[in-house]
Amino acid sequence: MATFASAAIWPHAGASQSGLVQSGLVQSDLVQGYADGDGVRRYFVQGGEGQLILFLHGVPDSWTLYMSQLAEFSQDHMVVAPNLRGFPPSDQPQAAEAYAMPRLLGDVHALLRYFGRERCILVGNDWGGYIAWVFASAYPGRVERLIILNAPHPAIYLREVRHSAAQIQASQYERDYNNAVAPYPSWYNYSRADPIKVPSSLAEAAQMETPDLAARFFTGVTEPPATTSLRVDVPTLVLWGMQDPVCLPGQLDNLHDYAPDATVVRIEDAGHRPMQSHPSLVNRAIRDFLGPAPQPR
């Protein structure tokens, strides 16, 4: 595993450089700390300086999903990777409502406020990418560029679990999360709070009500969205492992209806986490997409 390149690091209030020596990371190259907001404390790691790149992991992962990307991009950017709510040492609220989209969008705003940035490059995989799609659609002024790695756009995911038997089958694990009896891991609540419910079959899908995603995603947000259309107009890079067993390639069909400025890179032999299986390819694609690093804002 690559180590962080030497970079100027500065601690914020509540941050420290203690105790993080794992997987090839050098303690002095990394800051860890906690950012508060919306009643939830989020753990993060931080490296480098410059324009902010914010990395959001999925379930059931952690910030370590992006080790190779943090190592690469801390050389000329400020990189921040939190553990999302529900993943220790971040707080783990027990109520499913604490994981509804308005709260998750608030977490992104809270992180931007904590680091004093108006805008960021936003990166997400799995549930982190699901959040990133929605955040970039609603708050385009806060996202310089969007990078998605095997994370479905919510509107397209809804389409697929209503009309694709293959995607319905691939998503059956979500039914287990939704039907679990307590106690269960707090991160099950991401699925339990999501308005999109996976049917058992196409026949059941035909009988299900279509949820109003905009109403569920934006009612009660702390900051009013610029739009509730779920259309993403910021420049977007979509990196997709084509062997993903849970997010099938059908998620890319007609993606440009919702992300007209998207560049799609298909990685034929990658699965759900291409940043780990193909780190050099992913880092190179992100470098090409970002171009020269601008000055921090």
Give the CA angle between residues 4, 296, 103 to the nearest 5°. Answer: 80
Radius of gyration of the chain (CA): 18
pLDDT given at position 30: 77
Instruction: Give CA–CA dist 28/47, Å, rounded.
Output: 10
| Residue 179 within any structural domain of the chain | yes
The answer to whether residue 10 sits within a structural domain is no
Q: How far apart are CA 104 and CA 60, in angstroms?
A: 16
Cα–Cα distance, 129 to 55 (Å, whole number): 9
Is residue 22 situated within a structural domain? yes
Range of the domain at 188: 15-290
**Phi/psi at 40 (5° precision):** -125, 135
Does 263 reside within a domain? yes
Q: For 92-112, how does the pLDDT look when each residue is reduced to its tens digit (9 = 90+)?
A: 999 999 999 999 999 999 999
List CB contacts of 209: < 8 A, sequence separation 6 or more: none
pLDDT at 292: 74
Q: Is residue 5 part of a domain?
A: no
> In 3D, which of 45, 62, 79, 10 has the Cα closest to residue 286?
79
pTM value is 0.90
Residue 167 lies in a domain: yes
Residue at 35 is within a domain: yes
What CATH number is given to the structural domain containing 206? 3.40.50.1820
User: What total number of domains does the chain contain?
Assistant: 1
Instruction: Phi first, then psi: give them for residue 114, nearest 5 degrees.
Output: -60, -40
Could you give the 3-state DSSP secondary structure of residue 67? Answer: helix
Residues pairing with 268 in the sheet? none
pLDDT in tens, 129-148: 999 999 999 999 999 999 99
State the pLDDT at residue 194.
98
In a domain? residue 295: no
CA 78 to chain CA centroid, Å, is: 17
CA distance 13 to 7: 19
- Note the pLDDT tens digit of each residue in 171-186: 999 999 999 999 999 9
CA distance 56 to 264: 19
Residue 6 in this model has a pLDDT that exceeds 50: no
